[in-house]
Amino acid sequence: MLGIINGEVYDPQNGINGEIRDIWIKDGKIVSADEVERAEAEIIDATGLVVMPGGVDIHSHIVGAKVNAGRKFRPEDHRDHVRTRTTLTRSGSGYTVPTTYMTGYMYAEMGYTTVMEAATAPLVARHTHEELEDTPILDKGVFITMGNNHFIMDCIRKGEREKARDYVAWLLGASKGYAIKIVNPGGVENWKWGRNVEEVDDEVIGFGVTPRQIVSTLAWINDELKLPHVPHIHAINLGQVGNARTTVEMMEALEGRRAHFCHLQFLSYGGKPGKRLRSGAAEVARAVNEHPNITVDVGQVIFGPATTMTSDGPLQYRLHQLTGDKWLNDDVEGETGGGVVPMQYKRKNPFNAVQWLIGLELFLLIDDPWRVYLTTDHPNAGPFFRYPQVIKLLMDRDYRAEVCEGLHPRAKKGALLPELDREYSLYEIAIITRAGTARALGLKNKGHLGVGADADVTIYAKLDDKEEMFARPHYVLKGGEVVVRDGQLVRELPGRTLYVAPPYDPGIERDLRAHFEECYTISFDNYPVAPEYLPHGEVVPCS
C-alpha cells in the first residue's frame, strides 16, 4: 500500500487540472482513500511536485527484426553511448538504437511506463516477442503490418471482406499483436517490382487493388472486430515533397471510419514534387481538425543523429540514394518489406529545418490535444529520450524562437511557426503524452489516475525549464512498485505484453493451410507465436 500525498495532480481523463490531491495505491491499482490502512502505507510526500499518470507512447520502434538490424549494422551508434551494469540492472549500449534492457530503463527513467512497438511483420513476430520479454519494466504491445499482405489483398480483389476479417482476427491472435498497422499500402508490394504507389487509386501490381481499398477495408475490419485501437496508418508518399495532398486524400478515403495517422510530420509536405520543400502543415492540420474520426502523432524531428527504419521499402531505398549512406533492405514474403538507413538532421540543412518546423506547426495548429500525440517516431526523426526537449518547445515560445534563430535562412523565410503564439499547458502535455494516447489505444486502465487504473504514476519536480523537468522525474511507479526514486532506477521488474485475441470463424484455417502451402516457406503449424513466448502476456478484450 502506498500513498502519494499533496501532489499537484494532472489527470485529464478525470478532468483534474493541477489540483492538490492524494493518490492511493493497493495491489498495483489506484484505489479510493478508504480502501487503504494509512498506518501501513508507504507515504510519498509530493508537496510542490507534479503528479501525472505514467507516460504512454503510441508509436516507437524499440524491438524486433528491423530495430535489431539497425543495431547490428550501426556499431558507430553505440560506441560512445553505453550503460554500465549494476547489481540491479543489465549493461547496454546504443544512442538511436539502444539495446532492449537499456530501452526499458531509459523509458522508465523518463517517466514512461507503456510503449507500443509500431511495426512487426507477423512472420517474424516470434523474434519481436523474444525481445519484448527482454525489455523490462514497460508494458508493451506490437502493431502487425497488414497493408501489403497477400491474403488480404486477394480477399479484397475477390470481394471477400468477411474472409479478410476472419483472417485479420486470426493473424492478430497468431502473432500476439495489439493493432492493425498499415505501411505505405500497396507501395511496399510494388517495391518488390522496383516500383511504388503515388496516388490513392494506383494499382498494386499483380493484385488489382488500390491503397484506398486496402485502407478502407482494414478500417471496416477494425470496426467489425471492435479492436481497442484503430488502424494505425503510415500513408503513401512518406517523405516526398508535395505529399500533403495524398495524406488528406487518404483521410478522406476512410469515409468517416476511425483511424490513426502516424508520424504526420513526414506526411505534411507542401511544395511541388521535385521542387523545394514547403510546409504543408496548415493544409493537413485543417484536414485533421475537420475529421473527428482521425487521431495523429507527430514524429517531431530532433536535430542530431537518427536511424530511419520503416516497413516502407521504397522510401528507405530513396533515402539511401539521397544520403549515400549504407542501406539495409528486408523484403518479407507475402507480407511486407522494410529498410534501415542512418540519418543526421541538421539545423543548417534547409530540408531538415523545414521538417522540424512542420512538426511543431502541426502540434500548434491541430486544435484538439486529445487527437495529436507526442512522438519522434523513434528512432526515425530522433531518439525517444529527447521528448522532454519537444515538451519545452511546445510550452515555451521564447525557446522556440531561440531555436528558430539557428535554422537555415531559406527554411525560415515565410515560415508559419514564428507567427504561432500558442503554448501548451501542463494539462495539455499530460494529454499528448499519456491521457490521449491511452484513450486512442483503448487502454482503459492506463493514462489516468482514477480508481481502478493501473498504478503507473510519474512524479516530477516543478521546474521552469520544462526539458529538465520532464527528463528526470523524481519518482516513477509501475504497477504500484517504485521503480525510480530520487531520479535513480531502483528496481527492475518485468513488464507485460498486451495483445488482442478477437474471435474468428475457425473455418478460415482450412483456407489458410492452402495459402501457407502455396505462399510461405514455413508451415502453417509453425507460424503462430505460442503463449510460452509471452510469460507476461495479457489479453486486452475487444468490445
Partner 1 sequence: MIVGNVVCPFCGCLCDDIVVTVEDNRITAVEKACTSGRSLFLNVHTQTAKPTVDGKEVEWAEAVDVAARILTDAANPLIYGLSSTASEAQRKAIALADLLGATIDSTSSVCHGPTTIGIQVEGEPTCTLGEIKHRADLLVFWGCNPAESHQRHFARYSVLAKGKLTPGGRRDRTMVVVDVRPTLSTRRADVFLQVRPGHDFELLNALRALLKGQDLDVDQVGGVEVARLQDLVERMKSCRFGVIFFGMGVTQTGGKHLNVAELVALVAELNAYTRFTAMPMRGHGNVAGADCTLTWQTGYPFAVNFARGYPQYNPGEFTAVDVLARGETDAALIIASDPVAHFPRRAAQRLAQIPTIVLDPEMSLTAQVARVVLPTAFYGVNAAGTAYRMDNVPLPLKKVVDSSQPTDEQVLDWIIEKVKTCSA
Binding residues vs partner 1 (CB under 8 A): 63, 65, 68-69, 71-75, 77-79, 82-85, 90-94, 97-101, 123-124, 126-127, 130-131, 134, 191-194, 317, 320, 326-334, 337, 341, 518-523, 525-526, 530
How far apart are CB 101 and partner 1 at their closest, in Å?
A: 7
Cα 502 to Cα 497: distance, rounded to the nearest angstrom: 16
Closer to partner 1 by Cβ: residue 66 or 263: 66
Closer to partner 1 by Cβ: residue 106 or 200: 106
Cα 60 to Cα 433: distance, rounded to the nearest angstrom: 13
Helix (H, G, I), strand (E, B) or coil at 174: helix
Q: Tell whether the torsion through CA atoms of 408, 345, 181 and 316 is positive or negative.
A: positive
Q: Tell whether the torsion through CA atoms of 152, 334, 171 and 263 is positive or negative.
A: negative
How far apart are CB 383 and partner 1 at their closest, in Å?
A: 14
Closer to partner 1 by Cβ: residue 20 or 519: 519
How far apart are CB 480 and partner 1 at their closest, in Å?
A: 27
Closer to partner 1 by Cβ: residue 32 or 86: 86
How far apart are CB 321 and partner 1 at their closest, in Å?
A: 8
Closer to partner 1 by Cβ: residue 75 or 487: 75
Q: Residue 374 has which C-alpha cell?
A: 507526442
How far apart are CB 124 and partner 1 at their closest, in Å?
A: 6
- CA distances for 489 relative to 433, 457, 473, 485, angstroms: 21, 14, 11, 7
How far apart are CB 76 and partner 1 at their closest, in Å?
A: 8
Q: Residue 46 has which C-alpha cell?
A: 509530493
Closer to partner 1 by Cβ: residue 70 or 480: 70
Nearest CA to 216 out of 147, 267, 313 is that of 147
Q: For residue 500, give the amino acid letter.
A: V
- How many CA atoms does the CB half-sphere of 534 hold within 13 Å? 25
* Partners of residue 20 on adjacent β-strands: 8
DSSP-derived pairing of the beta strands 259-261 and 294-297: parallel
Closer to partner 1 by Cβ: residue 35 or 333: 333
* Partners of residue 222 on adjacent β-strands: none
Closer to partner 1 by Cβ: residue 399 or 520: 520
Closer to partner 1 by Cβ: residue 309 or 394: 309
Tell me if the bond preceding 185 is cis, omega within 30° of 0. Answer: no
How far apart are CB 281 and partner 1 at their closest, in Å?
A: 32
How far apart are CB 130 and partner 1 at their closest, in Å?
A: 6
How far apart are CB 231 and partner 1 at their closest, in Å?
A: 25
* Partners of residue 43 on adjacent β-strands: 3
How far apart are CB 256 and partner 1 at their closest, in Å?
A: 36
How far apart are CB 187 and partner 1 at their closest, in Å?
A: 14
Radius of gyration of the chain (CA): 22
Question: Do the beta carbons of residue 98 and residue 501 sit within 8 Å?
Answer: no
Question: Do the beta carbons of residue 297 and residue 375 sit within 8 Å?
Answer: yes
Closer to partner 1 by Cβ: residue 32 or 523: 523
Alpha helix positions (H), 423-504: 426-430, 436-441, 466-471
How far apart are CB 158 and partner 1 at their closest, in Å?
A: 17
Closer to partner 1 by Cβ: residue 315 or 441: 315
Secondary structure (DSSP) of 482-521: EEEETTEE----PPPEEE------TTHHHHHHHHHHHH-S
Closer to partner 1 by Cβ: residue 124 or 238: 124
Closer to partner 1 by Cβ: residue 227 or 341: 341
Identify the helix (H) or strand (E) that includes residue 246. helix 244-253
Cα 369 to Cα 356: distance, rounded to the nearest angstrom: 19
Cα 392 to Cα 468: distance, rounded to the nearest angstrom: 9
What's the angle, vertex CA 46, arms to CA 44 and CA 51, rounded to 5? 110
Q: Which residues contact 501 (CB under 8 A, 6 or more apart)?
A: 172, 173, 539
Cα 484 to Cα 514: distance, rounded to the nearest angstrom: 51
Question: Do the beta carbons of residue 186 and residue 202 sit within 8 Å?
Answer: yes
Q: Residue 311 has which C-alpha cell?
A: 516497413
How far apart are CB 531 and partner 1 at their closest, in Å?
A: 12
